[in-house]
Chains A and B, each alone.
Chain A
Amino acid sequence: MRDQEIDDLLNKNAPAPLAPRPELLERIAASIQPSLRPVRPLPPAWILAGGLILICAGIAVGGAARAGFLGVEKMDMVQRLLIFPALLVLACIVASRFVREMIPGSRRRVSAVALLALGCAALLALFAPLYRDYHTDHFFSVGFACLVTGFEHAVPAGLLCWLLLRRGFAVRSVSAGLMAGALGGLAGVGVLELQCPNFQASHVLVWHLAVVPLSSAAGALVGWLAGRLTRSNAR
Chain B
Amino acid sequence: MYLESNLETLMALYQQGDFTAAAALIDRISPQLHRFFAVQPGSRPHADDLLQETWLRIHRVRHTYRLGEPALPWFYAIARHVRVDHYRRSMRATAGERELEIQSGTVAADHDEQERAHRFEALLAPLSESQREVVAMLKVAGMSLEEVARATSSTVGAVKQKAHRAYEKLRKSMSAIQPRVQLRTGSGKEGTDNRERPGD
User: A31: which B residues are within 8 A, CB to CB?
Assistant: 52, 55-56
**CA gap between A138 and B152 in the complex, in Å:** 47
Within 8 A of A (CB), among B153-200: 153-155, 158, 167, 170-171, 174-175, 178, 181, 185-186, 188-193, 197, 199-200
With both chains docked as a complex, state the minimum distance between the C-beta of A115 and any C-beta of chain B, in angstroms.
11
**Does A66 reach chain B (CB closer than 8 Å)?**
no
Mark B111-147 against chain A: 1 for CB-CB distance below 8 A, else 0. Answer: 0010011011001000000000001000110000010
Q: Are A13 and B154 in contact (CB under 8 A)?
A: no
**Does A6 reach chain B (CB closer than 8 Å)?**
yes
User: A16: which B residues are within 8 A, CB to CB?
Assistant: 113, 116
User: B185: which A residues are within 8 A, CB to CB?
Assistant: 9, 12-13
Instruction: Give which listed residue, B77, B88, B135, contacts A10 with CB less than 8 A.
Output: B135
Mark A11-40 against chain B: 1 for CB-CB distance below 8 A, else 0. Answer: 111111111110011011101110111111
Give the nearest-CB partner of A40 in chain B: B63
With both chains docked as a complex, state the minimum distance between the C-beta of A198 and any C-beta of chain B, in angstroms.
39
- Interchain pairs with CB closer than 8 A, number: 193
Q: Are A169 and B66 in contact (CB under 8 A)?
A: no
Instruction: Give which listed residue, B30, B34, B188, contacts A8 with CB less than 8 A.
Output: B188
With both chains docked as a complex, state the minimum distance between the C-beta of A222 and any C-beta of chain B, in angstroms.
18
**Does A111 reach chain B (CB closer than 8 Å)?**
yes
- Given known A-B contacts A108-B154, A111-B155, A231-B88, A13 and B123 have beta carbons under 8 A apart: yes
Instruction: Give which listed residue, A13, A20, A27, contacts B119 with CB less than 8 A.
Output: A13
**Does B80 reach chain A (CB closer than 8 Å)?**
yes
**Does A171 reach chain B (CB closer than 8 Å)?**
yes
In this complex, how many residues of chain B approach chain A with their Cβ under 8 Å: the count is 79
**Does A1 reach chain B (CB closer than 8 Å)?**
yes
In this complex, how many residues of chain A approach chain B with their Cβ under 8 Å: the count is 58
With both chains docked as a complex, state the minimum distance between the C-beta of B24 and any C-beta of chain A, in angstroms.
10
Q: Are B188 and A12 in contact (CB under 8 A)?
A: yes
- Given known A-B contacts A7-B139, A13-B120, A109-B155, A27 and B52 have beta carbons under 8 A apart: yes
Instruction: Give which listed residue, A3, A10, A19, A105, contacts B73 with CB less than 8 A.
Output: A105
Q: Are A28 and B61 in contact (CB under 8 A)?
A: no
**CA gap between A173 and B85 in the complex, in Å:** 12
User: B34: which A residues are within 8 A, CB to CB?
Assistant: 18-20
With both chains docked as a complex, state the minimum distance between the C-beta of B113 and any C-beta of chain A, in angstroms.
6
Within 8 A of B (CB), among A24-69: 24-25, 27-29, 31-33, 35-42, 44-45
**Does A141 reach chain B (CB closer than 8 Å)?**
no
Give the nearest-CB partner of B139 in chain A: A10
A-B contacts, 5 listed (Cβ < 8 Å): A10-B123, A24-B48, A24-B51, A41-B67, A231-B85
Residues of B within 8 A of A (CB): 15-17, 19, 22-23, 26-27, 30-31, 34-35, 38-39, 47-48, 51-52, 55-56, 59, 61-67, 69-71, 73-78, 80-81, 85, 88-89, 107, 109, 113, 116-117, 119-120, 123, 135, 139-140, 146, 149-151, 153-155, 158, 167, 170-171, 174-175, 178, 181, 185-186, 188-193, 197, 199-200
5 more A-B residue pairs beyond the given contacts A18-B38, A104-B74, with a C-beta to C-beta distance below 8 A: A1-B174, A6-B174, A28-B26, A104-B77, A171-B78
Residues of A within 8 A of B (CB): 1, 3-21, 24-25, 27-29, 31-33, 35-42, 44-45, 101-111, 167-169, 171-172, 175, 231, 234-235
